[in-house]
C-alpha cells in the first residue's frame, strides 16, 4: 500500500515534482541570496528526507531563486556561542554526518541523481551543497569560493568527502588555503562544475529529464555503484573533519574570535 507523504512546508525550500518524476528543488531565501541560516539548514535536511522516501522520484534539479545559488553561511545568524544543549560537531546526528554536513551529504545520499544549477554566487557552504550533487551546471560567470579559511576554520560541511575524485589534489589545497574566488569556467577546469551554460537551470532540467527517461532501477543501481567506488571511508573523513573543527572551536577564546571576525567581515548582500 502506497504511503502519501506530507510535503515539508518552508519559506526556505520549495519542491515541485513533474509528471516525468523530476523534482525541482529551489532554495527560496532570495532576499538573502539563499544564505544559510538555522532555518535553511533544517529546511534542506527535511527536503532531503522527503525526497528520499518519495515514490516516483527519478531525478532532482537543485537551484536557487533570485540572484544566487547560495551565498554560504549567513554569519549574522551564527554570531553567538553555541548552546550547551546543542550536539557537539563530533556527534553523528544524521547517520554518518552532523547537521552541517548533512545539508551537503543529503544530495549524495539520495537514491536518484541530483543535478545542481549554479548562478550568481556559490560560496562556502553553498559550494559544499552543490558538491553533493552528482552533476553541476554553472553559469560561466558564477562566483565561487571555498571560504572557511577566511574565518580561520576548515571546510567542514562534507567538502573533503565530496571533492574526492573531482579536484586535483594540489588545486584543491590552493583553493582551500587561499579561499580565492574563481568563476564557473574555471570551476569546470578544476572539476567543480560538470558543464558551463548561460542558462544553467534549463540545461540541468534537460539532463535530469533525460535521466528520468532511463530505467529507474538501473539509474538507482548505478548511483549506488558510483558511491561504492568513490566514497569508501567517507565516515572516517566526515568524522575527521568534525574532530579538527571541534578542536579549533574549543581552543581558548577561539569561538569569540571567529564570531567577531564573521561579524566584522559580514558580507553586504547588495554588494555581491
Q: What is the pTM of this model?
A: 0.87
Residue 3 lies in a domain: no
What single string gives the DSSP state of each residue in 163-174? Answer: STTTS-HHHHHH
Residue showing cell 532555518: 39
> Do 57 and 250 meet the contact criterion of CB atoms below 8 Å apart?
no
Residue 209 lies in a domain: no
Most distant CA pair in the chain: distance in Å? Answer: 56
> Do 172 and 142 meet the contact criterion of CB atoms below 8 Å apart?
no
Residue 6 lies in a domain: no
Mean pLDDT of 47-62: 97
Averaged pLDDT score across all residues of the chain: 90
Residue 136 lies in a domain: yes
Please report the pLDDT score of residue 216 as a whole number: 93
Least confident of 184-198, 231-245, 257-271: 257-271
Instruction: State how many domains the chain has.
Output: 1
Least confident of 67-81, 92-106, 134-148, 168-182: 67-81
Nearest to 129 by CA among 111, 140, 139, 117: 117
Residue 260 has pLDDT above 80, yes or no: no
Residue 126 lies in a domain: yes
Give residue-wise pLDDT tens across range 125-135: 999 999 999 99
Helix (H, G, I), strand (E, B) or coil at 262: helix
* Residues of the domain holding 130: 13-199+214-271
> Do 162 and 128 meet the contact criterion of CB atoms below 8 Å apart?
yes
Residue 207 lies in a domain: no
| 234-249 and 99-109 helices, crossing angle to 10° | 160
Residue 170 lies in a domain: yes
| Number of Cβ within a 10 Å radius of residue 151 | 17
CATH code for the domain in which residue 36 is found: 3.90.226.10
> Do 90 and 239 meet the contact criterion of CB atoms below 8 Å apart?
yes
Report the number of secondary-structure helices (H) and strands (E) in the chain: 10, 9
Residue 246 lies in a domain: yes
Please report the pLDDT score of residue 129 as a whole number: 98
Amino acid at each position: 500500500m502506497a504511503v502519501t507523504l506530507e510535503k515539508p512546508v518552508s519559506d526556505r525550500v520549495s519542491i515541485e515534482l513533474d509528471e516525468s518524476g523530476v523534482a525541482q528543488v529551489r532554495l527560496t531565501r532570495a532576499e538573502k541570496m539563499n544564505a544559510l541560516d538555522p532555518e535553511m539548514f533544517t529546511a534542506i535536511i527535511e527536503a532531503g528526507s522527503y525526497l528520499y522516501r518519495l515514490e516516483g522520484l527519478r531525478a532532482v534539479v537543485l537551484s536557487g531563486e533570485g540572484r544566487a545559488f547560495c551565498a554560504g553561511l549567513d554569519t549574522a545568524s551564527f554570531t553567538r556561542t553555541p548552546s550547551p544543549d546543542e550536539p557537539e560537531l563530533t556527534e553523528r546526528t544524521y547517520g554518518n554526518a552532523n547537521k552541517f554536513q548533512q545539508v551537503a551529504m543529503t544530495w549524495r545520499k539520495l537514491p536518484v541523481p541530483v543535478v545542481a544549477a549554479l548562478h550568481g554566487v556559490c560560496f562556502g557552504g553553498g559550494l559544499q551543497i552543490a558538491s553533493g550533487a552528482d552533476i553541476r551546471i554553472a553559469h560561466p560567470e558564477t562566483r565561487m569560493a571555498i571560504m572557511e579559511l577566511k574565518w580561520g576554520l576548515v571546510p567542514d560541511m562534507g567538502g573533503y568527502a565530496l571533492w574526492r575524485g573531482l579536484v586535483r589534489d594540489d588545486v584543491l589545497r590552493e583553493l582551500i588555503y587561499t579561499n580565492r574566488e574563481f568563476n564557473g569556467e574555471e570551476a569546470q577546469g578544476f572539476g567543480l562544475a560538470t558543464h558551463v551554460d548561460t542558462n544553467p537551470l534549463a540545461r540541468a532540467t534537460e539532463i535530469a529529464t533525460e535521466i528520468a527517461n532511463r530505467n529507474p532501477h538501473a539509474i538507482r543501481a548505478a548511483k549506488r555503484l558510483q558511491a561504492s567506488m568513490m566514497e569508501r571511508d567517507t565516515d572516517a573523513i566526515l568524522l575527521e573533519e568534525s574532530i579538527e573543527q571541534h578542536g579549533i572551536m574549543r581552543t581558548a577564546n577561539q569561538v569569540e574570535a571567529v564570531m567577531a571576525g564573521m561579524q566584522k567581515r559580514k558580507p553586504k548582500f547588495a554588494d555581491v
